[in-house]
Amino acid sequence: MKQLDGKTALVTGSVQGIGLAIAEALAGAGARIALHGLTTPDEAQSAADSLRQAGAPEVRFFDSDMRDVDAIVAMMGEVAEWGGADILVNNAGIQKTVSLAEADAATWDAILAVNLSGAFHTMRLAMPLMAQRGYGRVINIASVHGLVASVNKAPYVASKFGLVGMSKVAALEYAQAGTKRQGGVTVNCIAPGWTETAIIEPQVQARASQFGGDRDKGIADLLAEKQPTRRTSDPSEIGSLALWLCDPIAHNVTGTTIPIDGGWTAQ
């Protein structure tokens, strides 16, 4: 048997990038996948096909806007009717690079709504059932910017620091749910550094413009500034860690934030 046979995983923002890589890792271990994102029907179908090929016995697609509380509640209700999320991965996120002086209320509200409030609502609705079953995994995709700051990212950094803090609270509140044999209920964050995803592309292009549009030089310059290994991560690496956190053997790993950042936060 695969280690996640019979389990259902909701992965927000999972039609591409880190979210899709995590969903593929969980699908490969036998989990049913609640696929989520704001995308085109073709892109949603492509992601669903990829998950089935990876091993998911069933895939359902949800397109709830994570800025809309009512939409989140409706999605969580549908997932509950499907059997409920044994695994919840809050990956959906947005970012805008802008100085504190130039940021406006709309930017702040949107980033906090998706990156932080969205995770709050999915967690409050999913975790009581996890506790009843004695097994549950919440994995919140934070960022190195949930641990350290960078200029021109005030809303994003605030949202990720908040996500890390909220995850610690939830980990404490559910620490005694379940047993070692069942696997317990754990809440952890993964904090990626520079990873090859669409969300970093605006920063890559901005840096590349300093080198006549040379993308490779732009990436190298970004890495030299922050990431000591000077290597980007692949989304599959985050997927592998998420899968391990879902194993019952990880029952005592809770309330942590695990960087995959090439030494960025060690400095």
Q: Confirm if 162 and 154 have CB atoms less than 8 A apart.
A: no
Q: Is 123 left (phi over 0), alpha (psi -120 to 50) or beta?
A: alpha
Q: Confirm if 230 and 262 have CB atoms less than 8 A apart.
A: yes
Q: Which residues carry out catalysis? A: 156
β-sheet with 8-11: strand ranges across: 59-62, 32-36, 8-11, 87-90, 135-141, 184-192, 257-260
Please give the Cα distance from 148 to 245 (Å, whole number): 23
When computed from its CA atoms, the radius of gyration of the chain, rounded to whole angstroms, is 18
Please give the Cα distance from 97 to 66 (Å, whole number): 20
∠ CA 73-111-137, nearest 5°, is: 50
